[in-house]
Amino acid sequence: MAFADGTADFRSDTVTRPTEAMRKAMADAIVGDDVYGEDPTVNLLEEESAAVVGTEAAVFVPSGTMGNQLAIWGHTIPGSEVVCVETAHVRNHERAAAAAIAGVQFRGVESPDGSITPDQVKDTAAPEHHHPRPSLLAWENTHNTSGGTVTPLDVMVETSDAARAIGLRIHLDGARLFNAVAATGITADRWADPVDTVQFCFSKGLGAPVGSILCGPADFIDEARYRRKMLGGGMRQVGVIASAARIALAERDRLTEDHENARRLADGLADRYPGSVDPAAVQTNMVIADCSPIPGGVAAAIDALAAAGVVAAEFPVGHIRFVTHRDVDAADVERVLAGLPRP
Ligand SMILES: Cc1ncc(COP(=O)(O)O)c(C=O)c1O
């Protein structure tokens, strides 16, 4: 179902607009001052989120970036390194916040799909005297840049064990954790089990307008709450948005629809433009299409889609990344296929 103006926006799952139920919940939300810990709706959301991922506590934050940065800041010491894949959001897309706030740098390891091997982690702790010491392993699951791929749980467990053995803490950027849950049937608490903290977003495929949450041990979350205030993240009567996030969390099973639509789109593109998409690489709600088999390439594809009322963007160069979400449906997938230039 496209937006009210008829456009279907495939650029990201961040573009969703609140549902009628969310708007009503926001209007009716029971609120208090969350800086005093007195917003009942936020307190419920934090309890429900911690229960879903099986941690002691959780703290509501305005964005995934703030959740990740509070985790990095809390887990590391200045001058140390965070180990992650070289394409990780925390490394490339958070405005160097970890350098500015926590005083750390990243050790990006090569990975086509977000997975990291035990040896890659062990290699970061080189015992020579020029090398900074690693302090944190940061996962991203599902992995955004490679097209929503899932790092298998056994890989996370094995590599996290290796990281712990050399003294690292472990954080999961689970902005799209529930896409991994929907794709595998493995529950969120099992994904969170190998890590110390997990951040997930209500404002991606789950469809809430705003908000993310950082979950972990009670003492870590207490400290994160203190630091959230330092960053200006004390949000007062924020039950107004937590109410929409509660609905998003309760309706998380709907992500399978997004995965079906991504599959439909991947199959349609692969059939029409052989070589444009590897359907096996499409595991969740993203399809990265190489536009070279499309007549006119990426620019012509984006123009033709715009004429059909479809918003799409180039990512990476020469490709379009289509992201499915709550506000696009199977008819919009057909619109993409019908709108693209014919071979
Ligand atoms: C993998 C990943 N982590 C973190 C974030 C940051 O979330 P936010 O935009 O809410 O700061 C994003 C946003 O797209 C993301 O894709």
* DSSP tag of 102: I
- The two counts, helices (H) then strands (E), for the chain are 14, 11
3-state secondary structure of 234: coil
**Structure tokens of 89?**
């959001």
pLDDT value for 125: 85
- Please indicate whether residue 201, judged by its CB atom, sits closer than 6 Å to ligand 1: yes
Q: What is each CA distance from 57 to 31, 221, 223, in whole angstroms? A: 20, 6, 11
The residue among 196, 231, 250 that closes a domain is: 250
Q: Is residue 258 located within the same domain as residue 178?
A: no
How many angstroms separate the CA atoms of 263 and 28, rounded?
Answer: 37
Please list, in sequence order, all residues whose beta carbon lies within 8 angstroms of the beta carbon of residue 248, skipping any fewer than 6 positions away.
22, 202, 203, 206, 207, 208
Give the containing element (helix H, strand E) for 340. none
Q: Is residue 86 located within the same domain as residue 27?
A: yes
Yes or no: say if 308 and 341 are a contact pair by the CB < 8 Å rule: no
Q: How far is the CA of 199 from the centre of ligand 1 (A)?
A: 10
Question: CATH number of the domain that 294 lies in?
Answer: 3.90.1150.10
Question: CATH number of the domain that 196 lies in?
Answer: 3.40.640.10
The residue among 206, 234, 250 that closes a domain is: 250
Tell me if 117 is assigned to some domain: yes
pTM over 0.95: yes
pLDDT value for 127: 66
Q: How far is the CA of 88 from the centre of ligand 1 (A)?
A: 10
How many angstroms separate the CA atoms of 67 and 103, rounded?
Answer: 17
Give the distance between the most distant pair of CA atoms in the chain: 61
pLDDT value for 280: 84
Divide the 343 residues of the chain into consecutive groups of 10 and give the mean pLDDT of each group: 86 96 98 98 98 98 98 98 98 97 97 96 83 95 93 98 97 98 98 98 97 98 98 97 98 97 97 93 96 96 97 96 97 97 89
Q: How far is the CA of 273 from the centre of ligand 1 (A)?
A: 31
Domains in the chain, number: 2
- Please indicate whether residue 63, judged by its CB atom, sits closer than 6 Å to ligand 1: yes
- Please indicate whether residue 173, judged by its CB atom, sits closer than 6 Å to ligand 1: yes
Q: Is residue 111 located within the same domain as residue 41?
A: yes
**Structure tokens of 63?**
């964005």
Q: Is residue 241 located within the same domain as residue 306?
A: no
**Residue 68 alpha carbon, nearest atom of ligand 1:** 4
**Residue 14 alpha carbon, nearest atom of ligand 1:** 14
Give the containing element (helix H, strand E) for 213. strand 212-216
Question: Quick one: how far is CA 52 from the chain centroid?
Answer: 17
Question: What residues make up the domain containing 275?
Answer: 254-339
Q: Is residue 30 located within the same domain as residue 161?
A: yes
**Structure tokens of 323?**
């992201």
Q: Is residue 245 located within the same domain as residue 295?
A: no
- Please indicate whether residue 16, judged by its CB atom, sits closer than 6 Å to ligand 1: no
Give the containing element (helix H, strand E) for 167. none
